[in-house]
Structure 1
Amino acid sequence: MNQPILSVSNLTTAFRVDGVWRPVVRNVSFDVAERETLAVVGESGSGKSVTALSIMQLTPPNNSRIEGSIKLGGKELLTLSNEEMRDIRGNEIAMIFQEPMTSLNPVLTVGFQIAEALILHRGLSRAQAEAETIRLLEKVRIPSAKSRFHDYPHRFSGGMRQRVMIALALACKPKLLIADEPTTALDVTIQAQILQLIKELQKEEGMSVLFITHDMGVVAEIADRTVVMYNGESVEAGSTDDIFARAKHPYTRSLLSAVPKLGSMEGRARPMRFPVVDKTTGESDVPVETPDTVASSERPVLEVSNLTTRFEIRSGLFGKVKGRVHAVENVSFSLQRGETLALVGESGCGKSTTGRSVMRLQQPMGGSVLLDGEDLLQLDAKALRERRKRIQMIFQDPFASLNPRMNVGDAIATPLLINNLASRSQAREKVAELLHYVGLSPDMAQRFPHEFSGGQRQRVCIARALALEPSVIVADESVSALDVSVKAQVVNLMLDLQARMKLAYLFISHDMAVVERVSHRVAVMYLGEIVEIGPREAIFGNPQHPYTKRLLEAVPVADPEQRHTKKSVSNSEIRSPVRAADYVPSPRQYREVSPGHSVMMWGQEWAS
């Protein structure tokens, strides 16, 4: 039997906290064979990223302790000096991190950063390194690689920055590539591109891949074998096919059950809760459809017509307008009481700006936003503040939307107090009630945001949004940053609250599998415009616009048997919404495919 490229035995990593050594990873063992992809999967806090950093010996030297054995091609890494380890890093083992913008130096061009690694590790001259860098950028499918050599990281999109990181990682032809959550922050189509790229490059270069993720759909797509981590320990390991078909550990089964599967809602008219699985016993409840809450006979609670939001680009601080970002262009939709309308699309398509424009957190240039028949865009500041009691927003990042110096009880009580809806003692009672409502205990009111997990912080934000008893909630990527099981819990909470309070949700997301689960209707956005809108079952069962089809085809399928099925993944980026100052959009035409299902007529740009 061939010797594995990487062999990890009884790895234990501890950090010193307040003078006490606390183990974060305990007795973890696994091998990575030649040309193999091993996935290490688990939720935040399971120890998977610390395992990767331990292999690279990138944990802080003064406050961490690594024990056990880590062998690369038979060579023990834990006994190497810093200088010897520096030769291994980037040369024999390369790593791609989750957030490329924090991994790339913002004041150096991407070409310089890749060339620097080639000069340092492979001893190339500057001219040779530049030529090799351009070849690497072309290899990772960056268009016009030669002209982009001198661009800085901020000039690239998220997906293209991740491609630059892959080029940097491949520069010295490593034996092993460690990819730590490389697609988590990316849109579904960009994620599909990066996964396909890693698979193709692995085949071309003959390298092994250690892929770290919490997304079981991605695991099914890319991994030959899988190690499941929970609470710092490896609880299950085996071939990916076996793990998916015959998972033994309750935690593995809970992870798999929480993965939203595209197509699982076929034949169901209403949203459906995720199954809840006990992580210690593996026992699951039976998910049920939510009650019929949509009041279709009434006037819509929210009516948006021809909403247009543009951002001016000036040639200087006081210069004339030289162009505009057409972020939202003639967007129209309605929302019934008790209904969820999902707004989907890639980053930059205008969906978040639409949500902020509806709330008037961003001032639109034109159109109307009727809340219970009253146009929010025509109100003065005082009247708008009064009407905002009926429409609230949940933001993507709960940590950024909570004041770190204010305990969560005060954060939830503040809307009640500033609107004079309760005295301080009444507000405290309401806070306790709301915390109980969202599955938290009332005594947590005295805690600060940093003392909660990501899922708990999002529950606090939901409680704050509910404080004023709104009719409409704009949920902007409210579950995108959460682990798969926490995401399922928060989605279930939102569905339960909708059934109880007849809330209307404008659910903004790029996660098509979650959207299929929670929505009544779906609107697909591209370049600031709605290109297709209709009932959820029509959009997912009979998509018409090429862009809708592209989004659905890119969703990772949580089935290892389909891993080798060739996907038609487009490598094109979303086009720029920047237009000349005198640009006038051409009128758009829609055709009705079926009742309530309309699609924009498209031109030559989608012909291929």
Structure 2
Amino acid sequence: MNPSTNCTTSAIEQVLNVENLTTSFRVDGAWKPVVRNVSFSVAPGETVAIVGESGSGKSVTSLSIMRLLSPDMSRIDGRISLNGRELLSLPEHEMRKVRGNEISMIFQEPMTSLNPLFTIGDQISEALLCHSDMSVKEARAETIRLLEKVRIPSAASRFDEYPHRFSGGMRQRVMIAMALASKPKLLIADEPTTALDVTIQGQILDLIKMLQEEEGTSVLFITHDMGVVAEIADRTVVMLRGEQVETGATADIFHRGKHPYTRALLSAVPVLGSMQAHDRPVRFPITDSTTGVVSQPIETPDTVSGTKPLLEVKGLTKRFDIHAGLFGRLTGRVHAIENVSFDLYRGETLSLVGESGCGKSTTGRAIMRLIEPDAGTVLVEGRDVLSLDKHNMREMRKSVQMIFQDPFASLNPRMTVGQAIAEPYLEHKMGTAKQAKDVVADMLVRVGLSPDMANRYPHEFSGGQRQRICIARALALQPKVIVADESVSALDVSIKAQVINLMLDLQQSLNLSFLFISHDMAVVERVSHRVAVMYLGEIVEIGPRASVFGNPQHEYTKKLMAAVPIPNPDVRREKRGSPVDELRSPIREPDYQPVQRNYRTVSDGHFVAV
């Protein structure tokens, strides 16, 4: 069956058919609709993507299909049929037989979906024992077969391990094995790759494609990443504020999308290789989701200045001891960062890029002395940060500020955003309470918010607005360097573009220097002057952005770039051929002595480890 013709087939031929789905929640005693009149279908063996930003109603739609919403606080209207069988009218005990058997679901965060008190083998076996007549022995054998199918190395020996012993990518594989245990007709994947590094994301997408081909499973894939949509979806449903604004074949949506919001989503997707004609960072083009007017991508002015680095890092090393046994014997060390060296100039953005566990966030925290490094030097304007006492360290932090990945966790929920922004200003005695109020208003305006928002609390803002507030708080101390640790990774694609544009504007107006920590190669290419690639705690390649992306030398750099989804369905890659191995462990024996790295010069300022 040609997926592009599925919309013309009758409802009974569809695996899933959704008609005029409306989901409402009880708010202050009244029913408030959050998803309105959504209709689509999924054919046998087809992948349909539901795409939109946070709050668009994607996940509520999937939870409505599974009937996982609280019946006391929610109401579902319309029709949802699976192979012609109406689901909304089923008694709950019948619906329990459908869940995990005919329809399975993979959630965004596998660690919250897996029970930490049970082994992963027991949790997968449970699904088999609930929905089949298997014995415990047969369920164990089938579970090991499923773990091998989703490429878990040494599956038999890992049956009895607990979730915390697995990496994020491996935990997501376990969730896929659990979802596929009963050979469901429909697999709902709710943002299954959003929290994963780009290489692990590529492996999970390949895995879903492979299993779909082998089992003939239909997939409803929910995401905000248009690159992933181009890679995997046959048809696409675009949602905005609870409504379906456009539906069609994925190629048509990408090339001939009619709704302004669809075009806004597509224009905000960073495309790897699009910066070849530019020497400096370039602002994202922003499409107005109402009018469809697209702003032009603007190359930022040259802000890099000075012959002496503003921040100098030399030989930075941090290891974490591992103790085990009754007497806490030293059994090993985590070599988190090993002999890391780089310079950062005034007005420059240097990006540290790599997968989770490579040491990039530890590097940022060690520079800030949020953790104490074991060796090395950190100089800010020639001043040795690591030798400063507590008082002088507080003074130094006025010059170097940090923005964290999760803005909600970074803000005190009991403080208004005005108090949160003013707090460091007042703590450092930079002015009076009245002056702080003026600073708060100025900072909010600088990050694109209004001064009257100062009296609101963090929960009253969206994720993108909260990240702007964190940027405003960092700017209140007038820093020279900002360490941005995965500061846009958790944001929707269009919000991410707006926040990055804001950071580039602030760099231009305030001559800021950014140490930009990320695993997103396409974003790194857009914002960087120079790039340093980290692997197992070491910098394996560093150089000007154009040189590193135009002529990557290290195998790990090439692997990161090859894993980036291409937001074009016409050049969809059937299989990346990525190895399924996770990032190798940085744990070493207590007496391990690391090899001293030598670097080969590729071109001016471009070095690669050999």
Query: TM over 0.5: same fold?
Result: yes
| CA positional deviation for 1:566 | 3.5
2:367 to 330, 355, 358: 358
Equivalent residue number for residue 290 of structure 1: 300
| CA positional deviation for 1:323 | 1.1
| CA positional deviation for 1:120 | 1.0
| CA positional deviation for 1:363 | 0.2
Distance 1:306 1:465, change over 3 A: same
RMSD across aligned positions (CA) = 0.9
| CA positional deviation for 1:38 | 0.2
Which stretch of the first structure deviates more once superposed, 311-320 or 213-222?
Answer: 311-320
Gaps of 5+ in 2: 1-8
Separation (CA, whole Å) in 1 of partners of 2:453 and 2:267: 29
Equivalent residue number for residue 451 of structure 2: 442
* Contact 2:321 2:330 (C-alpha < 8 Å) held by counterparts: yes
Separation (CA, whole Å) in 2 of partners of 1:281 and 1:251: 9
Secondary structure of the structure 2 residue equivalent to 1:389 = coil
Separation (CA, whole Å) in 2 of partners of 1:129 and 1:538: 53
Separation (CA, whole Å) in 2 of partners of 1:290 and 1:570: 38
TM-score norm. by structure 1 comes to: 0.98
Separation (CA, whole Å) in 1 of partners of 2:559 and 2:330: 35
Separation (CA, whole Å) in 2 of partners of 1:68 and 1:44: 23
Equivalent residue number for residue 412 of structure 2: 403
1:111 to 103, 107, 121: 121
2:596 to 587, 591, 599: 587
| CA positional deviation for 1:321 | 2.1
Separation (CA, whole Å) in 1 of partners of 2:566 and 2:384: 43
Equivalent residue number for residue 311 of structure 2: 302
* Contact 1:553 1:568 (C-alpha < 8 Å) held by counterparts: no
Equivalent residue number for residue 233 of structure 2: 223
Equivalent residue number for residue 539 of structure 1: 548
2:104 to 94, 110, 115: 94
Map residues 476-495 of structure 1 onto 2, 5 A cutoff. Answer: 476-495=485-504
Separation (CA, whole Å) in 2 of partners of 1:564 and 1:337: 41
Map residues 425-440 of structure 1 onto 2, 5 A cutoff. Answer: 425-440=434-449
Separation (CA, whole Å) in 1 of partners of 2:502 and 2:361: 22
| CA positional deviation for 1:264 | 0.6
Secondary structure of the structure 2 residue equivalent to 1:228 = strand
TM-score norm. by structure 2 comes to: 0.98
Separation (CA, whole Å) in 1 of partners of 2:316 and 2:331: 23
1:278 to 266, 288, 311: 288
Equivalent residue number for residue 497 of structure 1: 506
Letter aligned with residue 7 of structure 1 = N
Separation (CA, whole Å) in 2 of partners of 1:33 and 1:207: 10
Letter aligned with residue 491 of structure 2 = L
* Contact 2:47 2:234 (C-alpha < 8 Å) held by counterparts: yes
Separation (CA, whole Å) in 2 of partners of 1:316 and 1:407: 46
Separation (CA, whole Å) in 1 of partners of 2:130 and 2:502: 52
Letter aligned with residue 428 of structure 2 = N
Deviation digits for residues 546-596 of structure 1 (CA, Å, limit 9, x no counterpart):
000000000000000112444231211101111111111011111000010
Separation (CA, whole Å) in 1 of partners of 2:579 and 2:130: 35
| CA positional deviation for 1:18 | 1.1
Separation (CA, whole Å) in 2 of partners of 1:566 and 1:199: 9
* Contact 1:344 1:508 (C-alpha < 8 Å) held by counterparts: yes
| CA positional deviation for 1:317 | 7.9
Deviation digits for residues 338-376 of structure 1 (CA, Å, limit 9, x no counterpart):
000000000000000000000010100000000000110
Gaps of 5+ in 1: 602-608
Map residues 448-463 of structure 1 onto 2, 5 A cutoff. Answer: 448-463=457-472
1:523 to 519, 522, 532: 532
Q: Does 1:554 align with 2:563?
A: yes
Separation (CA, whole Å) in 2 of partners of 1:25 and 1:487: 24
Separation (CA, whole Å) in 2 of partners of 1:245 and 1:320: 61
Map residues 226-375 of structure 1 onto 2, 5 A cutoff. Answer: 226-295=236-305, 297-315=306-324, 319-375=328-384
Equivalent residue number for residue 414 of structure 1: 423
Equivalent residue number for residue 475 of structure 1: 484
Q: Does 1:120 align with 2:130?
A: yes
Secondary structure of the structure 2 residue equivalent to 1:364 = coil
1:34 to 36, 44, 47: 44
* Contact 1:390 1:471 (C-alpha < 8 Å) held by counterparts: yes
Letter aligned with residue 158 of structure 2 = R
Equivalent residue number for residue 153 of structure 1: 163
Secondary structure of the structure 2 residue equivalent to 1:443 = helix
Separation (CA, whole Å) in 1 of partners of 2:534 and 2:327: 33
Separation (CA, whole Å) in 2 of partners of 1:571 and 1:407: 45
Letter aligned with residue 334 of structure 1 = D
Separation (CA, whole Å) in 1 of partners of 2:487 and 2:43: 39
| CA positional deviation for 1:330 | 0.1
1:43 to 38, 50, 53: 53
Q: Does 1:572 align with 2:588?
A: no
* Contact 1:307 1:331 (C-alpha < 8 Å) held by counterparts: yes
* Contact 2:206 2:575 (C-alpha < 8 Å) held by counterparts: no
